[in-house]
């Protein structure tokens, strides 16, 4: 955990807390977290949670990485973690983890001309990022880390020549698909980040194999020393390592050594900053309204050649309806409006493939694509809104979402559906002043007198939408904005 304050435009770190929980070590053969590893992690989070009590939610981010991406019972653990912490936990995808790591490193080391390769070895994954200045350009997250490799090849703590060769082969097999691609892209400087890399640097310095940083020659000499030491207990004693670090030291070493050999890395500097610092700077961007998620939306619109004018029309109308419904439907706050706006702007992303069923194609793209700035749950929410923005709308459509978002997502989707219907003609003609009244699961959308009569197709579309909303338990009707006029009930609505 890192706690920082913005002072005179500069980030000042006020507190750092770190405990080696090694959650990846708690994964069994079925990729389920053991109760023991969960308890170890939850006890740690309970201690951290005390420090977080007075920090507003909008100034805080808590993320889970590879182990929670892999664990089949991660949802159960995250629910318990959120209860202990009193805050939401996000699970980020591998590419997003890599982006945040690069951001943290780029802000923690000196600027260089040209491209930088960043290497971060975590417990269950290793991230490789090529970027320039603060811009990550090529990212990869590999499923190998210090904990997972140590458990696989050095589970009982013994280090032998045959086990080292076995671990090195696993690393080379993992690197093989991307080795040529990375070498072709090239870089001018290499920076390492993470506890494993810092520990390796400390050991090299203590052995007189380096003054600062890590060299390939130093790693080769350290390999020979590991065969002399022979087990993790001796590693901890010789190099004064915490026992928890010593147990995963060899796995981290093999990953780094293998990377340097495969990518011809002769030397790398070591950064103090990584994922946690990246989260600080990413959160700072959101606070300053420099949110990377907005750039992501713009990139997707451009890449998929979406009709941006139509997307903006739908977005503006959806947000107008939200402003009128937010109080009664408890949808106040930036998070709900941002989600609705982004879903509205991306609702036609599936059209790149085909018009038929494009809402399903769009949902698949948004759920599974790498979207910088988005957590796994963020993408799940976006995909759910896009999936149900047209056609069927069953009452169970959002049952798969996190419990605290299911009802809100259903209500936001109702507003998105209405906005899409109102702009189905793709006309540039502005809509009249609309009045939306909501009361629990009842909605009334009011138009100026005579407008619906002049737009019979829109009226028919809205009447059809009333029948679809009814299946989800919503009663929707049309009305007039002059209070003296009789209300018009949509066909098929209660």
* pLDDT tier at 482, thresholds 50, 70, 90: low
| pLDDT over 90 (residue 118) | yes
Burial environment of residue 469 by CB neighbours within 10 A (0 to 12, 13 to 18, 19 or more): buried
pTM of the model: 0.85
| CA dihedral of residues 476, 477, 481, 486 (deg, nearest 10) | -150
Pairing of strands 475-480, 442-447: parallel
* pLDDT tier at 488, thresholds 50, 70, 90: very low
Contacts of 24 (CB under 8 A, 6+ apart): 66, 67, 123, 124, 145, 147, 148, 151
Rounded mean pLDDT, 20-41: 93
Would you state the structure tokens that stand for residue 56, as one six-digit string? 């507003």
Residue 188 pLDDT: 96
| pLDDT over 60 (residue 406) | yes
Task: Supply the DSSP symbol for 223.
Answer: H
- Summary mean pLDDT of the chain: 93
Q: Are 391 and 359 in contact (CB under 8 A)?
A: yes
Distance of CA 179 to the CA centre of its chain: 26
Per-residue pLDDT tens digits for 135-186: 999 999 999 999 999 999 999 999 999 999 999 999 999 999 999 999 999 9
Q: What is the share, in percent, of the chain residues with pLDDT greater than 90?
A: 86
Angle of CA points 397, 399, 400, to nearest 5°: 100
Per-residue pLDDT tens digits for 427-441: 999 999 999 999 999
Residue 485 pLDDT: 38
Burial environment of residue 453 by CB neighbours within 10 A (0 to 12, 13 to 18, 19 or more): exposed
């Amino acid at each position: 955990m890192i706690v920082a304050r913005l002072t005179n435009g500069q980030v000042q770190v006020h507190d750092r807390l770190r405990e080696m929980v090694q959650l990846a070590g708690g994964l069994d053969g079925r990729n389920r977290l053991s109760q023991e590893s969960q308890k170890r992690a939850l006890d740690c989070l309970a201690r951290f949670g005390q420090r977080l009590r007075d920090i507003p939610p909008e100034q805080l981010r808590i993320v889970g990485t590879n182990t929670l991406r892999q664990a089949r019972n991660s949802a159960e653990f995250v629910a318990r973690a959120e209860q202990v912490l009193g805050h939401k936990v996000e699970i980020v995808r591998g590419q997003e983890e890599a982006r945040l790591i690069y951001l943290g490193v780029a802000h923690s080391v000196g600027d260089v001309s040209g491209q930088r390769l960043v290497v971060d070895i975590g417990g269950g994954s290793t991230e490789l990022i090529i970027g320039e200045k603060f811009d990550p350009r090529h990212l990869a997250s590999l499923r190998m880390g210090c904990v997972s490799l140590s458990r696989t090849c050095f589970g009982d703590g013994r280090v032998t020549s045959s086990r080292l060769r076995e671990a090195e082969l696993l690393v080379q097999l993992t690197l093989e698909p991307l080795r040529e691609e990375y070498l072709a892209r090239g870089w001018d400087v290499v920076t390492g980040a993470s506890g494993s890399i810092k520990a390796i640097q400390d050991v090299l310095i203590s052995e007189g194999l380096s003054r600062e940083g890590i060299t390939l020659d130093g790693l080769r000499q350290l390999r020979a020393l590991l065969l002399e030491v022979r087990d993790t207990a001796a590693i901890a004693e010789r190099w004064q390592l915490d026992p928890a670090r010593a147990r995963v030291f060899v796995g981290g070493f093999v990953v780094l050594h293998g990377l340097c050999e495969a990518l011809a890395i002769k030397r790398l500097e070591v950064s103090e900053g990584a994922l946690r610092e990246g989260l600080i700077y990413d959160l700072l961007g959101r606070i300053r309204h420099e949110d990377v998620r907005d750039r992501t939306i713009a990139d997707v619109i451009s890449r998929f050649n979406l009709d941006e004018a139509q997307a903006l029309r739908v977005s503006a109308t959806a947000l107008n309806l939200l402003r009128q419904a937010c109080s009664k439907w408890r949808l106040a706050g930036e998070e709900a409006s941002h989600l609705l706006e982004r879903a509205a702007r991306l609702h036609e992303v599936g059209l790149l493939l085909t018009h038929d069923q494009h809402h399903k194609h769009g949902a698949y793209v948004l759920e599974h694509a790498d979207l910088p700035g988005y957590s796994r749950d963020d993408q799940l929410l976006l995909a759910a809104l896009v999936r149900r923005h047209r056609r069927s709308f069953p009452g169970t459509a959002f049952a798969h979402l996190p419990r605290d978002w299911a009802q809100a997502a259903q209500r936001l989707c109702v507003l998105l559906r209405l906005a899409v219907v109102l702009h189905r003609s793709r006309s540039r003609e502005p809509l009249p002043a609309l009045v939306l009244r909501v009361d629990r699961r009842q909605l009334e959308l009011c138009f100026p007198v005579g407008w619906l009569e002049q737009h019979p197709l829109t009226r028919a579309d809205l009447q059809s939408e009333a029948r679809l909303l009814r299946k989800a338990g919503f009663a929707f009707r049309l009305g007039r904005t002059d209070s003296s006029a009789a209300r018009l009930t949509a066909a098929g609505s209660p």
